[in-house]
Amino acid sequence: MRVARHPDPRKRVTEENKLAKRLRRQVGGAIADFNLIEAGDRVMVCVSGGKDSYGLLDTLLALRAKAPVEFDLVAVNLDQKQPGYPEQLLPEYLAARGVAYRIVEQDTYTVVKRVIPEGKTMCGLCSRLRRGALYRVAGELGASKIALAHHRDDILATFFLNLFYGGKLKSMPAKLVSDNGRHVVIRPLAYVREDDLAAYAEMRGFPIIPCSLCGTQKNLQRQVVGAMLREWEKRHPGRSESILRALSNVRPSHLMDRRLFDFVGLKPTTRPAAAGDRALHTLRALDAGELGEPLFAEE
Ligand code: SF4
């Protein structure tokens, strides 16, 4: 994702400062909203060498420097032994930044190649093996939190993938307990846009390692949904933000999951709901003004 930068160097610096500030504000907002990081936490930041995980680590480092509470950060990279993987790149970068880190070598590449038939996408199994390795390392490091670099657009794409293909209203939460029940997984980039992370990576000159060294295709459905969201955003700016807000503003009584709302036992309450249907209130106002006797008795 190429990002246009301002040709005037002074304006570019202003833009870049604004971007860095926005990232810190959004990450800080997610941390506060979901209590992602607490005093004394040891946060294992998963760094793949992609733009998103560099942005996550960089922003957490900046926030930690000014945080009112103390917490530890340790970067972890999994060297999955794909051919051509530049194994020195991340250790050199992390050492230069003065970040505590662990490089984990695990040849998931050979396993995935052996198990997945030629021509089929390997990313699903690859990700599962990676997750298992990261959970193990989190235990070894005594990490209280595992920070992943999924951003707002990953969360939206996952929501639509589950909606279109899984028959579930479900996405990636900002905080969850890992499948093995032992770790708390956090997503501090939950409010951050992908294009901001791309611009930030370019601005900071992160040494990117592409996640395509194995030559496989990315999940096709995810790509299609991503393109759909980008197209929507182009035609209707603000739509992605609205969808994200909707994920934090769920009304089980206006959906159809009987496990979340007691539709079977629903009875009249005899009083209007505070957050009820606005159309009803509008109708009442119209009714009072235009028809004389109101249809609905005042509370
Ligand atoms: S592109 Fe390669 S390394 Fe990245 S998730 Fe897919 S299989 Fe794994």
Ligand 1 binding pocket mutation candidate from 78, 114, 212 (most atoms within 8 A of CB): 212
For residues 1 and 119, the model is more confident at 119
Q: Among candidates 32, 49, 34, which has minimal Cα distance to 149?
A: 49
Cα of 131 from ligand 1 centre, angstroms: 12
Q: Distance between CA atoms of 30 and 193, rounded to whole angstroms?
A: 13
pLDDT, average across residues 36-56: 97
pLDDT digits (tens, 9 = 90+) for 66-115: 999 999 999 999 999 988 899 999 999 999 999 999 999 999 999 999 99
Q: Distance between CA atoms of 141 and 139, rounded to whole angstroms?
A: 5
pLDDT bucket at 217, cuts 50 / 70 / 90 = low
Ligand 1 binding pocket mutation candidate from 46, 112, 214, 217 (most atoms within 8 A of CB): 214
pLDDT, average across residues 197-216: 87
Question: 11-20, 28-37, 188-197, 244-253: which has the minimum mean pLDDT?
Answer: 11-20
Q: What is the per-residue pLDDT for 11?
A: 80
- Ligand 1 neighbours by CB, cut-off 6 Å: 82, 122-123, 126-127, 211-212, 214, 216
Cα of 266 from ligand 1 centre, angstroms: 49
Atom of ligand 1 nearest to the CA of 127: 5
Name which residue sits closest to atom 5 of ligand 1, judged by CA.
Answer: 123
Q: Distance between CA atoms of 37 and 30, rounded to whole angstroms?
A: 10
pLDDT bucket at 269, cuts 50 / 70 / 90 = confident
**CATH 3.40.50.150 applies to domain 9-247:** no
What's the 3-state SS for 136-171? HHHHHHCCCEEECCCCHHHHHHHHHHHHHHHCCCCC
Domains of the chain, residue spans: 9-247
pLDDT bucket at 275, cuts 50 / 70 / 90 = low
Ligand 1 binding pocket mutation candidate from 80, 131, 211 (most atoms within 8 A of CB): 211
Residue whose tokens read 């390795």 = 133
Cα of 213 from ligand 1 centre, angstroms: 7
Element at 172 (helix H, strand E): none
Q: What is the per-residue pLDDT for 295?
A: 44
For residues 295 and 73, the model is more confident at 73
Q: What is the per-residue pLDDT for 224?
A: 92
pLDDT, average across residues 132-138: 95
Cα of 51 from ligand 1 centre, angstroms: 15
Question: 193-207, 209-223, 232-246: which has the minimum mean pLDDT?
Answer: 209-223
145-147 β-sheet, strand order: 101-105, 72-79, 42-46, 145-147, 184-186, 175-177
